[in-house]
Amino acid sequence: MKITNNHPIKIRKILGPLGRLVLKIINWDVVGNLPDKKRIIIASAPHSSTFDAIYAYFVCLALDVKFYFLGSVSMFTRIVVPLPFKKNPDKLGIPHPFGKLQNRVLLNFGGIPVWRAKSKGVTQQVIDQLQTKEKFVLYLTVEGEMKTNSTIKSGFYYIGKALDATVVPTKIDYKNRRFELMGELPLTDSVEDDKNALMEYYDLVEGRNKVFHKPGEE
C-alpha cells in the first residue's frame, strides 16, 4: 500500500514487522491503496465475527499509518464479557486493577471510546473527537455491530460530511482472505442514496459468518 505525507504516518519499529509477520502466517492481505487525502474513513463490511477486529488490528499494525477505531467505553477499562444482568451498555464486562493501563494502551493505538448510553449520539461523539485533527484514518464497520442481516448505518455519511472526510468502501473478504480498498465513494446530499451506493460495493461478499446481500436480494 502506498503511503504519502498526507496520511498520518506512524512508524512501528517492533509492532510493524510483527503485524506483517502475523498477516503472512495467517495468509491475509490488504489490496488497494488509500486515497492521497488527509481525512479518510475506511467503511468496511460485512462484519459478522470478532475475528474481523483481530485481523483488522494486525492490518493496522502492519501499515505505517495511525488508525483510529471505535469501541464501547467499557472495552477500554474492563474485561469485556457479556453479563446478562448488566443493562447499561457502558458498564458491560468485569472491572480489574489494570483498567487504567488498558485504557492508556488502547488510546495509544488509536481507540476512540464511545458512550452508548449518553444522550449525545455515537456519531457526534466521534465528530467531536476527530474534528481538531488535521489528518486521520478512521476504521468503521458500517453495519455498526455484528448482524446476520445486511444493513448499514448512516454514521459514515454524517461523519464524512461533518469532517470533510473521504469515504473508502472496504470489503472484509473471507473467501479471498483480504481487506480490499475499493476507491472513493463521493458523498452526495442524500444519505439514503449514499447508503444504497455503498451497499453495492459489498453485495455478495463473503464474511466469516454471512454473505452480504443488498436489501431485497436475500
Q: Is residue 122 part of a domain?
A: yes
Q: What is the pLDDT along the chain (218 residues), one digit of tens a residue?
A: 788 999 999 988 998 999 999 999 999 999 999 999 999 999 999 998 889 988 998 998 899 899 999 988 888 988 877 655 556 777 777 889 999 999 999 999 899 999 877 767 899 999 999 999 999 999 999 997 776 667 899 999 999 999 999 999 999 999 999 999 999 999 999 999 999 999 999 999 999 999 998 876 65
Contacting residues for 130 by C-beta, under 8 A, at least 6 apart: 68, 112, 136, 138, 159, 163
- Rounded to 5°, angle at Cα 179 from 133 and 147: 90
- Specify the pLDDT at position 116: 78
Looking at residue 144, its pLDDT comes to 78
In a domain, 169, yes or no: yes
Q: Which three cell numbers, joined as nine digits, stand for 115?
A: 458512550
Distances (CA, A) of 21 to 1, 17, 64, 109: 16, 6, 14, 19
In a domain, 126, yes or no: yes
**Residue 72: what pLDDT?**
85
Task: Report pTM.
Answer: 0.90
Residue 38 CB contacts under 8 Å (≥ 6 apart), including other chains: 6, 7, 134, 135, 136
- Whether 178 is covered by a domain: the verdict is yes
pLDDT of residue 83: 58
Whole-number pLDDT of residue 37: 96
Residue 5 lies in a domain: no
> For the chain, how many structural domains are there in total?
1
Closest residue by Cα to residue 205 from 142, 158, 156: 142
- 97 is a domain residue: yes
- What local confidence, expressed as pLDDT, does residue 183 receive? 95
**214 part of a folded domain:** no
Q: 154: domain range?
A: 15-202
Within-domain flag for 215: no
